[in-house]
Structure 1
């Protein structure tokens, strides 16, 4: 007998019982579990004394498994209905996935979407087992070749291991670069709807307690994603295998300069927009989620404007923090420093208005060591000087209620990659930002990856509450993604991710990130320009950020 601890209850079981059998015995709803802090599929057999924590759709790791399995089953349904059609998945608006049908010999319409939805529901109703098979790498490659899945052949040739986990279901096979649910019957919750140029897939979200959010079309954000998709195809940067070919051919500098030129072009376009209305614009507000590159971006925007004879004043919103004792409390009773009320909103609004009206103002300076505000520099600006503000709440009009809308120019910045492992496995925007944060925290704060990962869920909660609701109010969206960046950050991230022990609760996340990072061919740091936004994370910036 083995002893299994579940919810402070110790059970004695026969060795070999699966997690699925145990959760059914206990009447627990679960989609995965951790066994001694290691994420496990429900098909995992228990063979020794262990502590088990079952995960439902309130847990982000369970949702990732749910979402990967949903993509698997949708790809299977498309294959069943349209054998010669390829489906490509992209992360898209409203926390959803966009599925695009390639090689379809007709226009996609609601009839096609209904047929796919019906086939998915049929597969779910059958509750077909999804079986993992450990297969020789060469065998997997030949299998993919026989089905015409050359996108999968392309990435597997960069796999170091000589084995690969293949998942089979009713003669369908696929590998989703992650864990899976034990059968199709678990996929009870999803929404499929027509959305040009394909269809939107919505699924439960952990940050919403396991429910599917209402679809919120975001035309500004959507336009940026479409441009990112077009860019990836244009330069051959939409798949890891294509990026690796740049390295193999010795064309890394060409790739880097194309990506940096895209940033320069966006900056020039933004400069044109601001310059064309500079007689009205008094406040340039910049916001974006963590690790978007706001600091470097703000500096480069200032230089862009200086080159046009526009001399902006940069002001840090962080200097307007109240003492920590006056900050609102979060659900755990701790100071919530991401809450807008943690800032002295009234003072900020008053001083921005006073500056715009030509008055001299003594700006505050927040002393983070002492945890209090002090008097800073005295400033006065001319009527042709715009103010640049950057921070989590910069787009929130509560911060600048006294300033008319037409005098504000709002910029939303975020990396929005459309890079794929293969057709069925896109790389998420969030993982890109997390890797940036891990590398930067290690480089500049000597913080190990465990600490960064530990606070990431809290960061994400703040983003959903204070940043994303305002992204559609932006006058301009700057896509800070650099298509080559993961090939540079890989070696930096590996060092700190590999240091996380297997018994750590954060090993799950670290292992997931390593699983796709390892496919990138390295690009050396010294090829990255010293004014690149990427330097904010890897070091060596000419701006000393």
Structure 2
């Protein structure tokens, strides 16, 4: 009998198994016991389902919900179950999974034609719990693509069928649960019995699918009403209707027809119009507002947005003056440390808030100040040699991650500030059931910018990303609701433009590095997108901050 040698990272055991042994069988034999039920495994740094059969020597690490890929396995399967429950409970209704919000997933029931009630939620939850009790397997089947397309069309999943057709492959994979077929662009847990914890609640015009907390599977993330963010999503729907690009399949169609230039022009015009409208709001408050505070997570485009807003304010006859919050860092030896003993530059305590507010009050009183400059080489604040004095119609624009945190400006009268929050809320989805993660969008932007301007590899950016997200969750997102205005910096076409740059970087991540798993996932994601050339993107575009070729100085 032929055997293969398996090394299991979880318990550092090396053992030979018969050719074709499944990961589930190996898990049982090695008695792998994790904090939560095992969802899948990393095999040579690639995510695999427990039904995967090994035929060559492998390095295996079993993962549960506490691992990011374990959460993806769980969440995909849970959303599949929501789809099945909607089909069973409301056969005439179409489920549309819109966006990630409140640490869950906002969905709408198209065709219900009335408000979702508590009774509707109860029926859907009860249906889902019944399927969980039955422990029905998620069956993965490889079938001819034309047959897969026919199955998807019969189930009303035309936008998904279009994407399958565009792949141009002879065979495709579908997942089946008791006759219901679907595809969520990634792997699943073995069966519905794994989906033991979830929540459904009415949420605005739809419902919210709640998921377990990443570090505490037994408890769901609490529901947070994010009205301003929902308004951004409504604006997103309006843009989608104008552009007629609701999903990747439609964007690919326009690209194939040579109409990507039109998409770029209209997308950029929509951005410019919205920035102009924000400038008009500020202009209406010119007698009160003294400072504009712009916040947002990494790679949301804060710097370019600030410069474009300054242009629109100038059009309104105002005089914008930009200062950087980075120049108000405390000296290096006074920088707080994080839980790992590393410098925590994203903490508010890393900013000399007292000195910053002192200069703001001096400026607002008509005094002239000497602007500081932080010298990162020596880790100290020095005099920049620049002076600033505010006159009639002058405004300050400050861009930095703490812009929406009231702790940044404790000595400033709240009505004197205008707060803006930026995020890159992806405007296209795979299809009606698969939204594209905003976090992925920003990671891709940052990866390209890090390579272009900082000389970092994709692996280095991917390695740093969890720490970046941790800082955002601690220092940025809790304060986004304080914004007077939220701006969506994502562009409908951008992922198709970023593709050729990102793929080159991702393909250079070696298979023997831990970051290969994430690189492989993103490469698969890009395989569904047709590339768009960037020559029609204007030099003032926000996306130029990441690609290069901007006419702004950074």
Pick from 517, 524, 541: which aligns with 1:532? 541
Pick from 172, 177, 196: which aligns with 1:169? 177
Pick from 380, 393, 400: which aligns with 2:389? 380
Residues 88, 99 of structure 1: 8 Å contact kept: yes
CA–CA distance in structure 1, aligned partners of residues 520 and 59 of structure 2: 20
Partner of 1:397: 406
Residues 57, 210 of structure 1: 8 Å contact kept: no
Partner of 1:183: 191
Pick from 19, 34, 37: which aligns with 2:23? 19
Residues 286, 394 of structure 1: 8 Å contact kept: yes
Cα RMSD between the aligned structures?
A: 1.9
Structural mapping, 1:200-279, within 5 Å = 200-206=208-214, 211-279=219-287
Pick from 415, 438, 449: which aligns with 1:429? 438
Describe the shift of the 1:183–1:527 C-alpha distance in structure 2 as closer, same or farther (beyond 3 A).
same
Residues 328, 381 of structure 2: 8 Å contact kept: yes
CA–CA distance in structure 2, aligned partners of residues 191 and 52 of structure 1: 32
CA–CA distance in structure 2, aligned partners of residues 139 and 502 of structure 1: 34
Residues 91, 98 of structure 1: 8 Å contact kept: yes
Residues 197, 218 of structure 2: 8 Å contact kept: no
Residues 325, 335 of structure 1: 8 Å contact kept: no
CA–CA distance in structure 1, aligned partners of residues 223 and 469 of structure 2: 19
Give, in angstroms, the shift of residue 446 of structure 1.
2.5
Give, in angstroms, the shift of residue 267 of structure 1.
0.9
Partner of 1:101: 109
> What secondary structure, in the 3-state scheme, does the structure 2 residue paired with 1:114 have?
helix
CA–CA distance in structure 1, aligned partners of residues 318 and 406 of structure 2: 24
Residues 479-525 of structure 1, C-alpha deviation per residue, up to 9 Å, x if partnerless? Answer: 11111111111111111111222232112212222222222222211
Is 1:512 the counterpart of 2:521? The answer is yes
Residues 270-307 of structure 1, C-alpha deviation per residue, up to 9 Å, x if partnerless? Answer: 01110001111011100001111111110111111111
Describe the shift of the 1:418–1:143 C-alpha distance in structure 2 as closer, same or farther (beyond 3 A).
same
Residues 437, 537 of structure 1: 8 Å contact kept: yes
Is 1:9 the counterpart of 2:46? The answer is no
CA–CA distance in structure 2, aligned partners of residues 107 and 308 of structure 1: 42
Residues 26-72 of structure 1, C-alpha deviation per residue, up to 9 Å, x if partnerless? Answer: 33332122223222222223455543322222211111111111111
Residues 377-413 of structure 1, C-alpha deviation per residue, up to 9 Å, x if partnerless? Answer: 2222225321110001122121211100010100111
Pick from 76, 79, 82: which aligns with 1:71? 79
Moved more, 89-98 or 66-75: 89-98
Moved more, 399-408 or 193-202: 193-202
TM, length-normalised to structure 2: 0.94
Pick from 419, 424, 433: which aligns with 2:428? 419
Give, in angstroms, the shift of residue 8 of structure 1.
4.2
Residues 289, 392 of structure 1: 8 Å contact kept: yes
Residues 63, 205 of structure 1: 8 Å contact kept: no
Structural mapping, 1:25-424, within 5 Å = 25-28=31-34, 29-104=37-112, 107-206=115-214, 211-376=219-384, 377-382=386-391, 384-424=393-433
Moved more, 161-170 or 264-273: 161-170
Residues 38, 503 of structure 1: 8 Å contact kept: no
Partner of 2:495: 486
CA–CA distance in structure 2, aligned partners of residues 511 and 541 of structure 1: 30
CA–CA distance in structure 2, aligned partners of residues 53 and 518 of structure 1: 26
Describe the shift of the 1:336–1:106 C-alpha distance in structure 2 as closer, same or farther (beyond 3 A).
closer
Moved more, 9-18 or 218-227: 9-18
CA–CA distance in structure 2, aligned partners of residues 67 and 370 of structure 1: 46
Describe the shift of the 1:8–1:323 C-alpha distance in structure 2 as closer, same or farther (beyond 3 A).
farther
Is 1:459 the counterpart of 2:463? The answer is no
> What secondary structure, in the 3-state scheme, does the structure 1 residue paired with 2:531 have?
coil
Give, in angstroms, the shift of residue 340 of structure 1.
1.0
> What secondary structure, in the 3-state scheme, does the structure 2 residue paired with 1:386 have?
strand
Structure 1: unaligned runs, 5 residues or longer = none
Residues 324, 337 of structure 1: 8 Å contact kept: no
Give, in angstroms, the shift of residue 325 of structure 1.
2.6
Residues 176, 424 of structure 1: 8 Å contact kept: yes
> What secondary structure, in the 3-state scheme, does the structure 2 residue paired with 1:430 have?
helix
Residues 18, 46 of structure 1: 8 Å contact kept: yes
Residues 427, 491 of structure 2: 8 Å contact kept: no
> What secondary structure, in the 3-state scheme, does the structure 1 residue paired with 2:207 have?
strand
Moved more, 245-254 or 17-26: 17-26
CA–CA distance in structure 2, aligned partners of residues 100 and 520 of structure 1: 25
Residues 38, 505 of structure 1: 8 Å contact kept: no
CA–CA distance in structure 1, aligned partners of residues 265 and 218 of structure 2: 42
CA–CA distance in structure 1, aligned partners of residues 57 and 426 of structure 2: 43
Pick from 429, 434, 457: which aligns with 1:448? 457
CA–CA distance in structure 1, aligned partners of residues 215 and 387 of structure 2: 43
Describe the shift of the 1:480–1:80 C-alpha distance in structure 2 as closer, same or farther (beyond 3 A).
same
CA–CA distance in structure 1, aligned partners of residues 79 and 179 of structure 2: 17
Partner of 1:475: 484
> What secondary structure, in the 3-state scheme, does the structure 2 residue paired with 1:132 have?
strand
> What secondary structure, in the 3-state scheme, does the structure 2 residue paired with 1:14 have?
strand
Give, in angstroms, the shift of residue 17 of structure 1.
4.1
CA–CA distance in structure 2, aligned partners of residues 139 and 162 of structure 1: 10
Partner of 1:438: 447
